[in-house]
Amino acid sequence: MSKVLIAPSLLSADFSDLANEMKKVTAAGADWLHVDVMDGNFVPNLTLGMPIIKSLKPHATIPLDVHLMIERPERYIESFIEAGANYLTLHVEATDVLKESLKKIRALGCKPGVTLRPGTELEKIKPFLSLVDLVLVMTVEPGFGGQSFKQEQVEKIRKLAKWRAEGLGNYLIEVDGGVAPGTASICIKAGADVLVAGSAVFKGEKSVNNYQKNIQAIREGGV
Ligand code: DX5
Ligand code: ZN
C-alpha cells in the first residue's frame, strides 16, 4: 500500500490570502487541495464557488479536490470542471440524477467522486461505486470545519475497502472531518487512502515549516 495522501481543506486557511496558503501547504508536502463548496441550503453555511476556484487554479500545482455540498449539483458540473476541478465529489442526498452526473463528470475529463452524510447508510452509494474514482466518507456533519471525529463512521471505511477488494469498484477511499494525528491512524488502519484535514493542518503559525510539521504529524498518525 502506498503512503496515505493528505488533502488540506482550504476552509481552514486564511481566506484573505488563499493563493499563498495553497503554495505554503503544497511546499509543506500536501498531495491534494480539498475545496469545500457550500450553498447555504444543502448545508447551513456558505463558502466559495467557481470564480474563486478559477482564480486559484493557475496557482495550484497539485490536484484540486472539490467537495460539493450543494443542492442539485448537476446544474454546475461543467462550470466546476471549467474552473479547474480535478476531482469532483457529489453528495448522494443532493441529487436525483447521480448516475448521469457521475458519468458526465468522467466524460468531461474530470474524476468523479461520491459522498454521503454520516447519517446515510453506505448501501445508498453501493450502486454507484463502479462509476467513481473517489469515495468520500464524512466523519463529521458537513458544513463546518473544526468538529470532532465521528468514530462510528470508521466502519464505512472498512466496508469500502472490503467491497473494493471484492471487485465492486476501483476507487480511492477519502475521509473528511475531524482528522488529526490520533484519528488519522484509525482511518489509515481501516483502509483510508486520502485524508482531508482542515484545522489540524492550518492551526498555528502560517508558515511552511509549521504546516509541514502539522502534515507530518497527521501522516505519522498512521505509523
Ligand atoms: C466539512 C468539510 C471539511 C472540513 C474539515 O463540511 O467537508 O472538509 O473543512 O475540517 P476539519 O478537518 O477541521 O474537521
Ligand atoms: Zn470537505
| pLDDT on residue 222 | 52
From residue 73, how far is each of 67, 87, 105, 111, 117 by CA, in Å?
Answer: 10, 14, 11, 15, 15
* The one catalytic residue among 31, 39, 65, 176: 176
Concerning whether 193 is annotated as a catalytic residue, the answer is no
Q: Which domain range does residue 101 map to? A: 5-219
Kindly give the parts of the chain with pLDDT less than 70. Answer: 1-2, 222-223
Residue 83 has a pLDDT of 98
Total tally of structural domains belonging to the chain: 1
Apex 124 CA angle, 120 and 128, nearest 5? 135
> Would you give the distance in Å from CA 109 to the centre of its chain?
19
Cα 17 to averaged position of ligand 2 atoms, centre (Å):
20
Q: For position 147, what pLDDT does the model report?
A: 98
Which CATH number belongs to the domain containing residue 120 in this structure? Answer: 3.20.20.70
Size of the chain in residues: 223
Catalytic residue at 176? yes
**Which residues form the pocket of ligand 1, taking CB atoms under 6 Å from any ligand atom?**
9, 11-12, 34, 36, 67, 140, 142-147, 176-179, 196-200
- Residues 172, 194: Cα–Cα separation, whole Å: 7
> CA–CA separation, 104 vs 74, rounded Å?
9
Using the 8-state DSSP alphabet, how is residue 51 labeled? Answer: H
pTM score: 0.98
Residues, Cβ < 5 Å to ion ligand 2:
36, 67, 176
Secondary structure element (H or E) that encloses residue 39, with its range: none
C-alpha cell at 168: 465492486
